[in-house]
Amino acid sequence: MLKKRQTYEEVKEEFEWEIPEYYNIGVDICDKWALREPDRTALIVDRTNGDTERYSFGDLMRASNRLANLLLQMGIEREDRIAILLPQAPETAIAHIGIHKAGGISIPLFMLFGEEALQYRLEDSGARIVVTNKTGAARLSKIRTTLPELEHVLCIDEDVAGTVSFHQGIQAHSDIFSPAQTKAEDPALIIYTSGTTGQPKGALHAHRVLLGHLPGVEISHDFFPVAGDKIWTPADWAWIGGLLDVLFPALHHGIAVVCRRFDKFTAEAAFNLIEKHGIRNAFIPPTALKMMRTVNEPEKRWNLKMRTIASGGETLGVELLDWGQKTFGLTINEFYGQTECNMIVSSCAELMPARPGIIGRPVPGHQVEVLKEDGKPAPVGMQGDIAVKAPDPVMFLRYWNNLDATAAKYKGDWLLTGDTGIRDADGWIKFVGRDDDVITSSGYRIGPGEIEDCLLGHPDVELAGVIGKPDAARTEIVLAFIVLRKGVDPSDSLAKEIQNWVKIRLAAHEYPREVRFVDELPMTTTGKIIRADLRRLITEEKETRIRKS
């Protein structure tokens, strides 16, 4: 969508949205290319045993057509919800494409999710089918009876009790399918996002959300794509950063995506993968970049030919930017957004020098402002709420089953991101902080409310307050303050038990890495935990340590 020009102002001035009335993500990222160049490489799958498999756009079209036919045979109708509980894998891409071509709504889910996290999302969305593997199927088997609307579990592994074989099922159907005629405004995705209170909210996105992402992806990768580009991300495709910042936009442009599921991300493995496949572009979250930065002189150990790296989720500092130049010979471009409205601010080394500590300028096509409390644009240099003007193609339709939360997300025609920032005279936006209590840890945005609810389910916990504690490696870690029930004594073993309680029920990245037992929690007169007081306690402790040193 972007036209390459010499200055940001020229690019912004010449930009125009191209949103057709009828549009389908599955057709766009698969069939469009399969009908032109069926043998063009879409996915490069790096297996754990070292083998490499390639999937062409033709392969994806045939497999997704078979899946779409299977879904219709199973009784799926327009806008029915189908969850995908898989890691980076070709079946993940095939599932999204097939669901969208069948007119359904796909729901990406993390493999890290525990039983309670899955149960809530599947029940709230009313998902009729889940596509998963044997690990996910085992987890689902424990909650299946609580999900009356869940009719089928399609498993990509064979011979798993209580499931339908994904591969056998699609092979029994035709590879010819006429995709649903969806409008750009029709629902396509529900991505659950953590909030500060209560359970996660399902951000419902229209098919146009992919088109809305394109300018941000293109500018954060210095006018992606150019000849020879090949992209990868360590981010899970269940996260909007992996799915809509990498997988879908790359396939839209006909660019091959390297698919690799790491059992555990390591810097060495990342550098090996980049060299092995000649990866030229990557979205790498700041935490992963920090891990890679610990490797000594990687530019001398590996043959690195990268053209662009984009990063988002946390602000990069001078050290990481300098390391990027030294290691890859490029400037890492920062971008900013959130599940409800993503890729709306970005830097672009091709157009403007990086400004450490400042996330960038509004991506062409998006009107982003810093607002005062009255909802009007704040003067240059004044701190306010970062907001995006509606309507916008990348903006969500609404929260699923939550009209009140949807209404609260807006102030007039402005969508409030919940973050505060400062705008300078040139339109650069500096991220100052969150206006809420969302925790940013290793690139994940984690809502304390869901963790607190889970902790209260432990038989020994009376009250729980959860905050993010600053951490050099992860930006923040989850810290839980616990008031125990009468007669229960605190202990290291109990803290470990409480940590595992959350890890098993919610997700491995959401458990409290630090547990503190306290006699009471700061509360408002209406009984709400004052998390700001808990954060202040951590700040005071840090200041005391500094004074002592």
393-444 pLDDT, tens digit per residue, is: 999 999 999 999 999 999 999 999 988 889 999 899 988 766 567 788 887 8
How far apart, in Å, are the Cα atoms of 524 and each of 229, 452, 516, 527?
54, 16, 21, 5
3-state secondary structure of 316: coil
CATH class of 439-548: alpha beta
Q: At what angle do helices 90-101 and 57-73 cross, to 10 degrees?
A: 60
* Closest by Cα among 386, 394, 385 to 366: 394
Question: 492, 503 in Cβ contact below 8 A?
Answer: no
Which is nearest to 275 in space by CA: 251, 254, 258, 256? 258
Find tokens 């500094």 and name the residue: 546
Please tell me the distance from the alpha carbon of residue 37 to that of residue 123, in angstroms, as a whole number: 41
Minimal CA–CA distance to 439: which of 428, 426, 424, 449? 449
Strand, coil or helix: 148? coil
Q: What is residue 507's predicted lDDT score, i.e. its pLDDT?
A: 86
* Under 8 Å between Cβ of 293 and 271: no
What amino acid occupies position 435?
A: D
Tokens representing 266 are 């390591």
What span, in angstroms and rounded, lies between the C-alpha atoms of 222 and 503? 39
For range 158-171, the mean pLDDT = 97
- For 157, other C-beta atoms within 10 Å of its C-beta total 15
Kindly report the backbone phi and psi dihedral angles of residue 121, in degrees, each rounded to the nearest multiple of 5, phi listed first: -65, -40
What is d(CA 299, CA 340) in angstroms, rounded to the nearest whole number? 37
Strands (E), 390-524: 398-399, 410-411, 414-423, 429-434, 439-441, 444-446, 461-471, 475-484, 514-517
Digit-coded pLDDT (tens) for 55-88: 999 999 999 999 999 999 999 999 999 999 999 9
DSSP-derived pairing of the beta strands 308-312 and 281-283? parallel
Q: What is the pLDDT of residue 472?
A: 85
Tell me the mean pLDDT in the region 517-541. 78
List beta partners, residue 309: 282
- Calculate the CA 420 to chain-centre distance: 20
Domain ranges of the chain: 21-207, 439-548
What's the CATH superfamily of 21-207? ANL, N-terminal domain (3.40.50.12780)
Give residue 177's pLDDT. Answer: 98
- 527: pLDDT strictly greater than 80: no
Token readout for 314 is 């946390």
In tens, the pLDDT along 104-115 reads 999 999 998 999
CA dihedral 169, 174, 175, 181 (to 10 degrees): -100
> What is the helix (H) or strand (E) element at residue 301, kind and residue range?
helix 298-301
Q: What pLDDT digit, counting tens, does each position of 32-44 carry?
A: 999 999 999 999 9
Q: Global pTM?
A: 0.85
For residues 80 and 72, the answer to whether their CB atoms sit within 8 Å is no
Cβ contact 232:279 at 8 Å: yes
540 vs 101, which has greater pLDDT? Answer: 101
| CA R_g for the chain | 23
Identical fold between 21-207 and 439-548:
no
- pLDDT confidence of residue 65: 98
